[in-house]
């Protein structure tokens, strides 16, 4: 029996310190598959390219020529990978544990278009990686009682924060985008990732889109990956981009009244956090209240310095 052909598609931007450990984790992490490593680099100006050439000389390297965002990097990497059985979308700060990729691949099929693993952080603690579709009720619960508390009350929260729910396989409405195995059938049917989301909400849009094409996202806790995680929670610019993209995604899927209600919930949430001294929320609140930011935020000047 032939091994499944898997393309490991990694998007990089100023990722030099992360390359060596990522590459080192792949042989055991992708054991049991015929894997191809593909990097799409968004015009890094550090030593990312030289580190890729040093640590993974046989990898396919695509240089996009500009900082085009995560979705554009994903699309470029998948295109360069060519025909495969599945595509593993990876952040550069992910480390695969032994057998992770093959376990995820075994989950695909029977309507499962995307398989996601149990994610742990750099200290081995569980990451709340599973999500529910954003609704007005969930947005207001997040604003008024907090995401963690809401996530423990039935299906009230967008973020699944009940750790017991991470112990068993389940269908997820969407999951964080650092480690997602997409079947070739699903990719062909659903198309590329939406590049209008420079960073954040792109995986949300894609995971929700697959349902319209008859596929589901399945969480498989037997597959484990370590995600060191970026700095969106500490970076005012990145947090603001995350919040505004949530609003944009919701507005594209709902009418004007609901969209304004969602925007107001985000304003209340960020204002309350800003009042407690969170500088990231102050930045997000300022952008939410300035219509000019909605027009400018994807332009090159506003995005300068935003990292993947």
What digits encode the pLDDT tens for the residues 40-67? 999 999 999 999 999 999 999 999 999 9
**φ, ψ for residue 41, nearest 5 deg:** -105, 130
Q: What stretch of H or E contains 247?
A: helix 236-253
Rounded Cα–Cα distance for residues 273 and 267 (Å): 10
Rounded Cα–Cα distance for residues 91 and 107 (Å): 21
Give ranges for CATH 3.90.550.10 in the chain.
Answer: 5-227
The pTM score is 0.91
Degrees to nearest 5, angle at CA 287 with 156 and 146: 20
Tally helices (H) and strands (E) across the chain: 13, 11
Q: What percent of the chain has pLDDT over 70?
A: 93
Question: Is the pLDDT assigned to residue 303 strictly greater than 60?
Answer: no
pLDDT at 308: 46
How confident is the prediction for the chain on average, in pLDDT? 92
Question: Is the pLDDT assigned to residue 231 strictly greater than 80?
Answer: no
pLDDT band at 138 (very low <50, low <70, confident <90, very high): very high
For residue 75, give the nearest of 85, 62, 84 by alpha carbon: 62
- Coil, strand, or helix at residue 308? coil
pLDDT at 154: 87
Which CATH architecture does the domain made up of 5-227 adopt? Alpha-Beta Complex (3.90)
- Coil, strand, or helix at residue 282? helix
Rounded Cα–Cα distance for residues 34 and 56 (Å): 16
Q: Give 157-202 pLDDT, tens digit per residue.
A: 999 999 999 999 999 999 999 999 999 999 999 999 999 998 889 9
């Amino acid at each position: 029996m032939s091994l499944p052909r898997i393309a490991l598609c990694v998007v990089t931007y100023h990722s030099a310190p992360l390359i060596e450990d990522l590459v080192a984790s792949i042989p055991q992490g992708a054991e049991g598959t015929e894997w191809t490593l593909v990097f799409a680099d968004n015009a890094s100006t550090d030593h990312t390219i030289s580190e890729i050439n040093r640590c993974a000389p046989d990898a396919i390297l695509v240089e996009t020529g500009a900082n085009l965002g995560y979705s554009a990097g994903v699309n470029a990497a998948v295109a360069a990978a060519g025909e495969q059985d599945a595509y593993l979308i990876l952040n550069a700060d992910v480390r695969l544990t032994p057998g992770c990729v093959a376990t995820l691949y075994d989950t695909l099929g029977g309507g499962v278009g995307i398989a996601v693993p149990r994610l742990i952080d750099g200290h081995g603690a569980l990451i709340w990686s599973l999500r529910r579709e954003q609704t007005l009720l969930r947005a207001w619960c997040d604003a008024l009682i907090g995401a963690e508390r809401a996530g423990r009350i039935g299906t009230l929260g967008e973020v699944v924060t009940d750790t017991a729910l991470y112990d068993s396989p389940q269908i997820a409405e969407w999951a964080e985008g650092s480690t997602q195995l997409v079947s070739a059938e699903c990719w062909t049917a659903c198309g590329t990732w939406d590049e209008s989301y420079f960073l954040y909400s792109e995986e949300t849009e894609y995971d929700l889109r697959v349902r319209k094409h008859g596929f589901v996202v399945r969480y498989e806790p037997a597959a484990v990956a370590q995600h060191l995680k970026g700095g969106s929670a500490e970076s005012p610019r990145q947090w603001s981009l995350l919040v505004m993209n949530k609003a944009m995604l919701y507005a594209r899927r709902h009418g004007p009244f609901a969209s304004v209600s969602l925007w107001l919930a985000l304003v209340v949430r960020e204002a309350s956090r800003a009042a407690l001294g969170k500088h990231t929320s102050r930045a997000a609140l300022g952008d939410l209240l300035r219509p000019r930011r909605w027009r400018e935020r994807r332009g090159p000047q506003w995005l300068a310095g935003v990292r993947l």
